């Protein structure tokens, strides 16, 4: 009989930390809440719906690249490694690599606890020989891998252009931490969205079916539930646009009326038109991203793109 193959580590940030971060963000001018808080269980389900939308090209483009060039990716990652995935979501993309790759173990890391657990259980059923170390943690904070055998090389997979949620200095600091836990000569495979014409970017974050708007507004539902808040969702509107000078798509929740909101015992005033900045999604040229990776301690090894140059997957090696 095989040993149990699914292990679960709960390093989810405590509610007090989430409260502190949300209150701090709402006290800033302009108001801002980090996008990691989108991902409660329903937020993760909404994100999965976003990936299916006709306007949302990044998921299809990245999957197409991995299908086309996966063999070369697998050879660069190498077998028998501990394969760490940052922001694993539904663990769909990793399947494209797992069919050819035999890692010693797979460690999906995600902040969305219930969704991570369910996805890891489905993966364990579909890949019964795969040792899985599912880890619920916030990778934007310093944390140690809860499972890190000395005798296994490490590799990492960071798809979905989630690195774009960080401004370039924060992205560099996060990549530096990834390089540290991976160790010298290890490989990182990372998906990065490419700079392109604003029309396509604006459409991708303003879908006709309104799923991205629901995803954005769900942040307020979550805060109401978890932090004793009284946001009235009908007083906020989804707003997303490409900020070309900054090279990023911005998402906001804009108040359509002057009003007050209670959150965790504090009162916050909103003017008409005032926004909560909920997400940045930075876009990069290949060279811009390679320069960033270089500064974080990685040697760019290879880059693959789709035929329309919408998306890039980089292979980086820790120097």
Ligand X SMILES: C[S@@+](CC[C@H](N)C(=O)[O-])C[C@H]1O[C@@H](n2cnc3c(N)ncnc32)[C@H](O)[C@@H]1O
Q: How far apart are CA 272 and CA 188, in angstroms?
A: 44
Measure CA of the first residue to CA of the last residue in the chain; give whole Å: 41
CB of 153 or CB of 159, closer to ligand X: 159
DSSP-derived 3-state class of residue 288: helix
**103 vs 160, beta carbon nearer ligand X:** 160
- Give me the least distance between CB of 221 and ligand X, in Å please: 16
State in angstroms the smallest separation of the CB of 90 from ligand X. Answer: 7
The residue ranges that bind ligand X (CB under 6 A) are 36, 39, 44, 47, 51, 59, 87-89, 93, 109-112, 138-140, 159-160, 162
CB of 258 to ligand X, least distance (A): 32
* Residue 136 C-beta: closest distance to ligand X, Å: 8
Nearer to ligand X, 215 or 231 (CB): 215
Pairing of strands 187-193, 311-318: antiparallel
Which residue lies nearer to ligand X by CB, 153 or 160?
160
Contact 160, 62 (CB under 8 A): yes
Give yes or no for a cis peptide into 30 (omega within 30° of 0).
Answer: yes
Q: What is the 3-state secondary structure (H, E, C) of 54-106?
A: CCCHHHHHHHHHHHHHHHHHHHHHCCCCEEEEECCCCCCHHHHHHCCCCCCEE
Least distance (Å) between residue 256 CB and ligand X? 27
Kindly write down the DSSP assignment for every residue of 214-281, as one continuous string.
HHHHHHHHHHHHHTTB---GGGEEEEEEEETTTTEEEEEEEESS-EEEEETTEEEEE-TT-EEEEEEE
Q: For ligand X, give the closer residue by CB, 175 or 261.
A: 175
Tokens of 149: 């055998």
Specify the residue, 38 or 236, whose C-beta has the smaller distance to ligand X: 38
Q: 112 and 139 in contact (C-beta within 8 Å)?
A: no
CB of 232 to ligand X, least distance (A): 26
């Amino acid at each position: 009989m095989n040993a149990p193959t699914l292990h679960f580590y709960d390093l989810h940030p405590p509610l007090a930390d989430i409260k502190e971060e949300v209150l701090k963000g709402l006290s800033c001018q302009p108001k801002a809440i980090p996008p990691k808080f989108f991902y409660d269980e329903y937020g993760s389900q909404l994100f999965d719906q976003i990936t299916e939308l006709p306007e949302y090209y990044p998921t299809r483009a990245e999957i197409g690249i991995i299908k086309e060039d996966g063999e070369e990716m697998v050879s660069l990652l190498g077998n028998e490694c501990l394969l760490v995935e940052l922001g694993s979501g539904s663990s769909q993309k990793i399947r494209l690599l797992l069919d050819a790759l035999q890692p010693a173990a797979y460690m999906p890391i995600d902040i969305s606890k219930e969704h991570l657990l369910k996805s890891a259980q489905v993966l364990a059923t579909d890949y019964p020989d795969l040792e899985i170390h599912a880890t619920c943690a916030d990778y934007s904070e310093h944390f140690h891998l809860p499972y890190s055998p000395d005798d296994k090389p490490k590799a990492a997979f960071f798809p979905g252009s989630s690195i774009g949620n960080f401004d370039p200095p924060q992205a560099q600091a996060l990549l530096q931490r990834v390089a540290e836990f991976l160790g010298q000569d290890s490989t990182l495979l990372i998906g990065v969205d490419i700079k392109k014409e604003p029309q396509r970017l604006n459409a991708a974050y303003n879908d006709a079916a309104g799923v991205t708007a629901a995803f954005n507004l769900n942040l307020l539902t979550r805060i109401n539930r978890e932090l004793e808040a009284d946001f009235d969702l009908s007083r906020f509107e989804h707003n997303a646009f490409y900020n070309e000078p900054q090279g990023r798509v911005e998402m906001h929740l804009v108040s359509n009326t002057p009003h007050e909101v209670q959150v965790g015992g504090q009162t916050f005033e909103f003017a008409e038109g005032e926004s909560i900045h909920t997400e940045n999604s930075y876009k990069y040229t290949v060279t811009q991203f390679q320069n960033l990776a270089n500064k974080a301690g990685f040697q760019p090894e290879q880059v693959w793109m789709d035929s329309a140059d919408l998306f890039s997957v980089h292979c980086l090696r820790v120097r």
